[in-house]
Structure 1
């Protein structure tokens, strides 16, 4: 009888024990392999390791893993069995993938099957491209928008709220951005590749995604999946650093302890390194800056968890010129570095300024900005007024007690000295037990008035009342000064007076209320048209720590005052553009601020908590106060906003003017670093700067504008100028905004604007238009304007000429506006 061997089925061929190659591991041998189902049909007779191209492996250990190697295995059938002629694909219980085996030689009772096992390469990195961070009003990225790095594909993208619930969208768009959302992504490996077991890969992103929790989920050896969550940071778009002081000869560098960030909830100032201009460590002498040297500050800011810096963000600082920052660590809590450059320290000073100020109730001599030769000595004498005593003398922020004089010796730096006084007027009465004494406070009246007003202390407030007779003096054109005493524990001062006293038809008279918190001068027409009997004006000191957010950071520890008005006991939102009130706030600048006092500004804090610069605010070294004018009452704070340009040297004749205008946002540079002082000014630029300087708002979408107003930065300002009658243009309803402006055109527009705003300058310079050699070149239409501006000293010409037909530079424009605003 003839028998035939049975074919071995593919399901009956399963090899166990084969372990995938791994770097520095020893290859398995034939002894490690076993048949996983039945050995009665075949035996494993050979295992040979090869490189993936088929050449024999020539090392004792694997140098790499995965797809670098393949295993060649030979199976021999047992008697009564044979492998099918067409071959079969064995099952390999490890991570390898068996190619279809091939039958080779032998007879029907002992043929062989040879097959090759290849292995998947482990994916060692993941990079995601096209996933856009959430932003309010934007459509979420879809799976089709997102791609993964080689060897894997994005098979699922699901957007969720940060708590894992379905994403809250507004008409298919994000309702907010940043950390409000997260993305769940599923990747599937491509054939021949696999994610490693217990995968803990951290994906990289072309955008701001930050990989969170992740896990390998199922799949097979050639196509397993990887699921992970992407969270997002809230973007920091504004960064401020306070406390930086420009290098100065003989001064020590500012350290990290002096620096604070503008928003401590989002980031911290992590470090500051001082460097020479060649980026080596700073060269110092005895720990202080050298003369005629250039220094650089390298500052790093660390974002807090859940926040990230915008790459290229340029932080603002108190001094120097900042570069665009760069990110050195990505993801949440990233690090932003930026460089601050400064002007040379210059030669060692030959003199220093000591700023001396006195509070109400006495004097200090000498006072104001006192120049002292380097190495010299200077003594200050403090004298209280009658009924006052010295309360304290403060030098460079440190109290020296109630001393009557103070001497600076061997002066080698700028200093400040300020004094305060206590009212010591008499006392009266006492309880029957003799234990209680009531202090009597009085406010002297001076100027065109006289006498004393009784002052009542009520908690933290001091109150006084001006009688009707004194009020009549004000409305009659007289000027009175009421000086409130400094009282321990009092921060708010109020003065009542008849409404009629400030309801004159003219501003000839005035009332000045002088307090330790600040002084206000009220014109006699302040309340014209107001219905009521008694007005109360209140001046109060506000604790800067009560401010919030960016306002607190910008103000720092500088003075803040509150001005308010009530009529017959009811708070009134006073606002009268025809009766500006003059305000002065006592202030002792820091040494750094005295290097550029034009940067000392006044902020108006509006009802939304926003800072608005008061264009007229400036520091007066003679009185030791920051002064300004306002036509409405609110919160006002002293601030510092120093702005510098690389092409405006501190020795330039226009330096103070440019610094003043730039610090108040009236003008900006032609780019972030330069002002271009010699560039020719255009008519559109000038009208824009002029109206900004005087707080005139642009008129958007105006129906009545010049035909060439266009749609650009000056469009709304041209409409405003036309509406106010400042200019009628050059003819045919044209303004020619891009044409260079001549000096006489500039002066005429300036005159027209000041006239329309009732701000024409006063004074007598002693000069006349006819004093200039080129008076005949002045056009008839410009004569009236130039006559007044010459007579009031607003313009002075050069070399006996006014050059009326010449063009105007940006520096000249800055100087003209500065002459008007800084008075």
Structure 2
């Protein structure tokens, strides 16, 4: 490819008898101009190669050298105008980069005249990587004329651009070449990461990976040194890597995260999965949704199960007409090929992405659930919550397209929904409540809640699995679960206390006040909370969806 590019004009035109003609070059000169004299690290600059006194230019080759430590080459394009409206666009070779040099070549096509006078030839785009003054040099230009003669020039022209430190966002953009298999791989150096760290003020180190020349790709691998990040301590709390396919956020927390105090290198991989490799059940479920495969390794050791270590992933999703954001979900596709809904997934309209916290690094897809129930008329205030929870398989209908929103909720039903929404169910947990039968649909949820201190049961040693749950007990369970999850309930609103606050049992008083301030629970429309009234399925759904939203 390199030989073809460098000999591009000669190979096509020299075969026609090309000769070099100093007469053409007598009054020709060149310019190298930058569109900006100053940029900030991470910004782009465009360099235009232009000529004056040009004669009959049919094609050219331009070579620009640059400081590859301070700049990343992004793209090059032709700027030579057409001689007439009917002229074809011509033909350009993909730019060839080698060390600190980039070569770009273009030719017109067909038996047409060249262009003369003062004309732009090519535009090169570079992105700033580091602060400092850096020079670009137009090393050489070869010009080919329509009469198959050519001129060679060595102008050695320079354009200086000042790169200022970053804007405090801790942002670093890296460009890489896509190989023949559609894969993009980049590895950041210590100096690259240090530059971004020094400009970070919000605790986030942001890294953006993009292909040179806007090439399409299906797989991307990003490797970066993390020992230098860990040395910064609390200054850098998160590493945010935008791979161009998905965004992955890695907390910098040796105590709880995937990075330990001795970690040196982190590698993230994202790729588009060919649908033909999926099982028929997965294809039937997701339809045309794109499946992504994610991998993570630290110091060469691959991590599959994350075991509660917090990582978030964003994948693109375009909301279609008539779709409701709450029903956009993500599915985990395990090694056995069975899809499993990710309960914490949420759609972000501002970015057009679905964000979720995976339990495994494997295959995932974002899709629309399309859940609806026929008996929610009169419950518009609860419809979004009901359908969103059903889309995440946290609640279910009662058959024949019904939800029965006004039906009371048993204590077993509610704790099963709560623990599922909070993703706190431990299948190995054991309960000591007399009425909890091992293996029952509610057993693991109740046992997990008991183990975590979310429920204590009744004085007779039972849980009361079939008892309708009261509004105050519902508040207590949610409050305790929020404590386990370390959810920030905040101070919320300054609304007046419920007029029947005195009727709230002592064990529930703190929980009810906290839930009211946070906005997770509301009164019954008359200023009262009605603590001992039975909660119905619609009310439970609204509160649980608020909690789920808070946890995101």
Indicate whether 1:666 and 2:394 are aligned: yes
Rounded Cα–Cα distance in structure 1 between residues aligned with 2:459 and 2:318: 52
Higher helix content, 1 or 2? 2
When residues 470 and 502 of structure 1 are mapped into structure 2, their CA distance, relative to the original with a 3 A threshold, is farther
Contact 1:503 1:528 in 2 (8 A): no
Indicate whether 1:653 and 2:384 are aligned: no
When residues 640 and 574 of structure 1 are mapped into structure 2, their CA distance, relative to the original with a 3 A threshold, is same
Q: Show CA shifts across 1:713-761 (max 9, x none).
A: 22232222212221111123211111111111011111112222x2424
How far does residue 684 in structure 1 lie from its aligned partner after superposition?
A: 0.9
Indicate whether 1:779 and 2:538 are aligned: no
How far does residue 626 in structure 1 lie from its aligned partner after superposition?
A: 1.5
Rounded Cα–Cα distance in structure 1 between residues aligned with 2:170 and 2:394: 42
Rounded Cα–Cα distance in structure 2 between residues aligned with 1:571 and 1:743: 46
**Equivalent residue, structure 1, for 2:175:** 455
How far does residue 425 in structure 1 lie from its aligned partner after superposition?
A: 7.8
How far does residue 595 in structure 1 lie from its aligned partner after superposition?
A: 3.5
Rounded Cα–Cα distance in structure 2 between residues aligned with 1:754 and 1:630: 20
Indicate whether 1:743 and 2:471 are aligned: yes
Rounded Cα–Cα distance in structure 1 between residues aligned with 2:516 and 2:423: 24
After superposition, residues 44-123 of structure 1 pair within 5 angstroms as none
Indicate whether 1:720 and 2:451 are aligned: no
**Equivalent residue, structure 2, for 1:690:** 418
When residues 733 and 514 of structure 1 are mapped into structure 2, their CA distance, relative to the original with a 3 A threshold, is same
When residues 601 and 446 of structure 1 are mapped into structure 2, their CA distance, relative to the original with a 3 A threshold, is farther
Indicate whether 1:532 and 2:263 are aligned: yes
Contact 2:237 2:251 in 1 (8 A): yes
Q: How many residues align?
A: 400
Indicate whether 1:480 and 2:222 are aligned: no
When residues 652 and 704 of structure 1 are mapped into structure 2, their CA distance, relative to the original with a 3 A threshold, is closer
Indicate whether 1:812 and 2:532 are aligned: no
How far does residue 682 in structure 1 lie from its aligned partner after superposition?
A: 1.1
Indicate whether 1:755 and 2:483 are aligned: yes
Contact 2:273 2:291 in 1 (8 A): yes
How far does residue 439 in structure 1 lie from its aligned partner after superposition?
A: 8.4
When residues 699 and 564 of structure 1 are mapped into structure 2, their CA distance, relative to the original with a 3 A threshold, is closer
**Equivalent residue, structure 2, for 1:584:** 314
Which protein has the larger Cα radius of gyration, Structure 1 or Structure 2?
A: 1
Rounded Cα–Cα distance in structure 1 between residues aligned with 2:470 and 2:400: 27
Which of 494, 502, 520 is equivalent to 1:767? 494
Q: Show CA shifts across 1:79-120 (max 9, x none).
A: xxxxxxxxxxxxxxxxxxxxxxxxxxxxxxxxxxxxxxxxxx
Q: Which has the higher contact order (CA 8 A, sep 6+)?
A: 2
Indicate whether 1:490 and 2:217 are aligned: yes
SS across alignment from 1:496 = strand
After superposition, residues 280-429 of structure 1 pair within 5 angstroms as 424=75
Q: Show CA shifts across 1:604-661 (max 9, x none).
A: 1111111010001132223211222224322110122222222123971111111111
**Equivalent residue, structure 1, for 2:34:** none
When residues 470 and 781 of structure 1 are mapped into structure 2, their CA distance, relative to the original with a 3 A threshold, is farther
Q: Show CA shifts across 1:665-696 (max 9, x none).
A: 11111224211100111111101111121223
Give the alignment's TM-score, normalised by structure 1.
0.44
Contact 2:385 2:542 in 1 (8 A): yes
Which of 785, 791, 799 is equivalent to 2:517? 791
Contact 2:188 2:225 in 1 (8 A): no
How far does residue 504 in structure 1 lie from its aligned partner after superposition?
A: 8.7
RMSD, aligned CA: 3.6
Rounded Cα–Cα distance in structure 2 between residues aligned with 1:429 and 1:682: 68
When residues 482 and 743 of structure 1 are mapped into structure 2, their CA distance, relative to the original with a 3 A threshold, is same
Rounded Cα–Cα distance in structure 1 between residues aligned with 2:470 and 2:102: 82
When residues 633 and 776 of structure 1 are mapped into structure 2, their CA distance, relative to the original with a 3 A threshold, is same
Structure 1 unaligned segments of length 5 or more: list them. Answer: 1-384, 389-421
Indicate whether 1:612 and 2:337 are aligned: no
Rounded Cα–Cα distance in structure 2 between residues aligned with 1:804 and 1:759: 25
**Equivalent residue, structure 2, for 1:469:** 194
Which of 245, 257, 273 is equivalent to 1:542? 273
Q: Show CA shifts across 1:472-512 (max 9, x none).
A: 67999711222223531323333333334369987982122
Q: Show CA shifts across 1:293-320 (max 9, x none).
A: xxxxxxxxxxxxxxxxxxxxxxxxxxxx
Rounded Cα–Cα distance in structure 2 between residues aligned with 1:651 and 1:449: 45
